[in-house]
Structure 1
Amino acid sequence: MGKSAVRRRVTVFISMVSAMGVTAALGGCSGGTAATPNATLKLVAADYGDSEANSSQKYWDKLVKEYEKKNPGIEIDVSVYSWNEVDAKVKQMVADGEAPDMAQIGAYADYAAKGQLYEVNQLLSIPVQADFVSRLAEAGEVGRVQYGMPFASSTRLLFYNKELFDEAGLTPPRSWSELAAAARTLKSRGVETPYALPLGPEEAQAETMMWLLSGGDGYTGTIGSYGLDSDQNIATFNWLKNDLVGKGLTGPTPPGKLNRADAFEAFTRGEVGMLNGHPSLMQAAEKRGVEYGMVPMPGVDGRAKATMGVADWMMAFKENGNGEEIGEFLDFVYSKKNVLEFSHEYNLLPVTTSASEAMAADKNDKDLDPFLSELENAELYPVAKTSWAQVSADIKQQIGKAVGPNARPSAVLGSLQQAASAAESSE
């Protein structure tokens, strides 16, 4: 994905009747007046493509053109940026007093906490708001009020190389002990990386959360406060350090220096026996001719209590006062057709119930069934916390040290917990 902004201005029109057949008035009511003619809405969006050929700009261009044919009256200016810069771009725009009307980025809580966002029920028609997958809608709430609208989602499963497993006479692991035993067998047969453990700074917070969940805990406790150094979490990292990393089962690159993208690439070269992955890894492996299988993440003594879910977010800023117009447009964005088209293009899971049901019923999407079935039970990052961005950044930089040769996981997790508690207290 390029680092320069890809911009395109297109004209679309909004009428009194939304794409879902319900007029979107503020407060989620069905009354209201027509959108103000000749207003301009600005949308900043992230790029999910991996090349110019499938840039998200093409998705937005197509969607906006279709909207233009049906609805007269409003201009929409869409700017697409790479994930490396989109969050920072929006942050700077807001700081400069030039907030976009809509932003489709990675986090919403900071803006919600400062009173800068519309509540979702001030924007969307009731049928559209009710269509969000409940688990994702809940993750978009701050103080039980929804500000973040899920835009894209995925869950994670344990991928394994079928050819390597078949040659070794192995079956997919269902517990930690089975995973470690399979890794030992693969190592004895010359597999370079029996289990890839990417705890490098790219996405260490994801691999960490998957393992914490499989160990029976997570980032937060039952009351919602951070609990990174809980007894269960310390036990999880002790096991990783002693039973996987310490036994040489995680490959030649130290986990703290292994990034997720590099682990995925090694899997598509046939060098990795097992790793946690999301739907996009399926297509990448198939392109390279790697046969793979997928199973839920193993837990200590059986299946993990939950899998990790990830969502990206759409939000609407109040600064320009275009709530009604924004709601009309987003009703169209979240139609079943458009949600499905986006999900298919980028190998992601739908964020609405109607699109999820359509995908589950489509035989062409059967390979996504295991991910879909995990979504309702998925645990998401604590994105409603304004402190999460800093805590996540700390985890990315520090957690790899917990499995180093001379490390004490309890000390690393304890240090992270201290920093998390301090960040949480300032929310």
Structure 2
Amino acid sequence: MRRRHPRQQFPLGSGDVRRGVWRAAAAALALAVLAACGSSPDASGPSGTSGSGQSPAKLTVWFMKDSLSDAIVQRFRTDYERAHPGVTLDIQIQEWNGIGQKVTSALASNDAPDVIEVGNTQVAEYAASGGVKDLTDKVADLGGADWLPGLAEPGKIDGRQYGIPWYAANRVVIYNKELFEKAGVTPPKTRDEWLAATAKLNKGGDQGIYLPGQNWYTLSGFIWDEGGDLAVNEGGRWKGVLDTPQALAGMDFYRRLQALGKGPKDSDEANPPQADVFAKGDVAQIIATPGNATAIVTANPDLKDKIGFFPIPGKTADKPGAVFTGGSDLIIPEASRNQDAAYEVVKALAGEQFQTDMAKEMSYVPNRVSFAGAVQNNEGFTAMAAGAAVGHATPNSPNWAAVEARNVIKDYMTKALTGGDPAAEARKASATITEILNTAS
């Protein structure tokens, strides 16, 4: 659902970890696991104090853009401050682009934020700097025995817990039910059906799909469906493989689908925010995490009962399309001047009250098995869980973040969609990926 990813949305963990997360998530949904671990602490706990015992006037919290709706952030802030007299939360929203360097700089400073949301695979990089507080002794207090199997692992480094699992999610198709009905189409099950339905949805001045040219998260799924990958490790050396026949087939399907809409070929889903584009009411589909529906309804309340969800279609009807999955952790910088109070914020964000609210509003997978019932009847989560069974992760290399930072795949996509030779551009991009992943850090 590093991460994945960004990264604009949801950076990823290792493939084995992600598959474990999503198998457990799907099982939890199917069984509506509501049993019996005790309630975790929530925002009604005691007022936090700093390490020196002084009650802080202000705690700075960094959340990533589009992780949460404005409404849920405001509810959390209001409830928390009411339950913790004397504490003020300064919640700052950060862009995924360039966040790695910003967090690294903050961890090395003398005035770091008190709590930071990070992509789960970023935890190891940040912990290696020595700038992240070890929270191993807090795991039991946070209900760690009930954490979703596999979700906690990316935050655990050498047996120590630095990142507290917060949520996981993956992409689905968000569609306008009214436009589908007007065009006489139903949610497709296969890629061929998807292309045909989208072509029909284009009639009458509506846009069948809004798919920007640099949505590499979606491209990755098409490549994985074809049996390809972004990079592979051969004998301890990484090799970019966007130029394989399988990866090129994935890019060709992306080109065909993208051509059925009016999405820009030189930008990603954040520029402009695709939820805002969909909210205008004349776009039939976007590919996004279910939580984007909240932003759509905020921008256009008239669409509240017109939004539907379905899994990204696969090559055959028996299996949905592969998806890029990811999630976020919470960390406390060693440079925080209010570590004890910061922990109380983490405890509330990881606790039952907030996790349940977040799961219902954002359709995310909550961090604990016993919270799964909060989303058991949620259409967006149901579509997400179906795709989760075939979820994948980015290559498990500590240098992958540099591939993203340099926009290697995004630039390749734009060139391939604007007249460049896809095979030639894929070879160039693969060579760059190979170089980056094999560079000593």
Q: Shared topology, TM-score over 0.5?
A: yes
CA contact (8 A) 2:64 2:95 kept: no
Displacement after TM superposition at 1:135 (Å)? 4.0
CA contact (8 A) 2:198 2:208 kept: yes
Hey, what does 2:402 align to over in structure 1? 390
Hey, what does 1:259 align to over in structure 2? 269
CA contact (8 A) 1:257 1:400 kept: no
Hey, what does 1:117 align to over in structure 2? 132
Hey, what does 1:307 align to over in structure 2? 323
CA contact (8 A) 1:45 1:104 kept: yes
CA contact (8 A) 2:275 2:293 kept: no
Hey, what does 1:177 align to over in structure 2? 192
Please identify, of 295-304 and 366-375, the stretch whose mean Cα deviation from structure 2 is larger.
Answer: 366-375
Mind listing any 5+ residue stretches in structure 2 that lack a counterpart? 1-37, 42-50
CA distance in 1, matches of 2:109, 2:90: 17
Are residues 1:317 and 2:333 paired?
yes
CA contact (8 A) 1:103 1:314 kept: yes
Displacement after TM superposition at 1:297 (Å)? 0.8
Are residues 1:403 and 2:416 paired?
yes
How does 1:234-249 map onto structure 2 within 5 Å?
234-241=248-255, 243-245=256-258, 248-249=259-260
Displacement after TM superposition at 1:314 (Å)? 0.8
CA distance in 1, matches of 2:125, 2:88: 24
How does 1:25-424 map onto structure 2 within 5 Å?
37-38=53-54, 43-46=60-63, 54=71, 56=73, 59-66=76-83, 68=84, 78-84=89-95, 87=99, 89-106=102-119, 107-125=122-140, 128-141=143-156, 147-187=162-202, 189-200=203-214, 204-221=215-232, 227-229=240-242, 230-241=244-255, 243-245=256-258, 248-251=259-262, 253-257=263-267, 259-260=269-270, 261-283=272-294, 284=296, 287-289=301-303, 291-302=306-317, 303-304=319-320, 306-319=322-335, 330-344=346-360, 347-354=362-369, 356-361=371-376, 365=378, 368-372=381-385, 374-375=387-388, 378-381=391-394, 385-393=397-405, 394-395=407-408, 397-424=410-437
Normalising by structure 1, report the TM-score: 0.72
CA contact (8 A) 2:172 2:289 kept: yes
CA distance in 2, matches of 1:319, 1:79: 17
Question: CA offsets, 1:240-296, max 9 Å, x none?
Answer: 33x335xx4122x44334634443333333322332122233342572337243221
Query: Is the alpha carbon distance of 1:214 and 1:104 closer, same or farther for their aligned partners in structure 2, counting shifts above 3 Å?
Result: same
CA contact (8 A) 1:140 1:149 kept: yes
Higher relative contact order (CA 8 A, sep 6+): 2
Normalising by structure 2, report the TM-score: 0.70
- Residues matched between the structures, number: 380
CA contact (8 A) 1:387 1:420 kept: no
Displacement after TM superposition at 1:97 (Å)? 4.0
Displacement after TM superposition at 1:51 (Å)? 11
Counterpart of 1:178, as a letter, is E
CA distance in 1, matches of 2:208, 2:183: 12
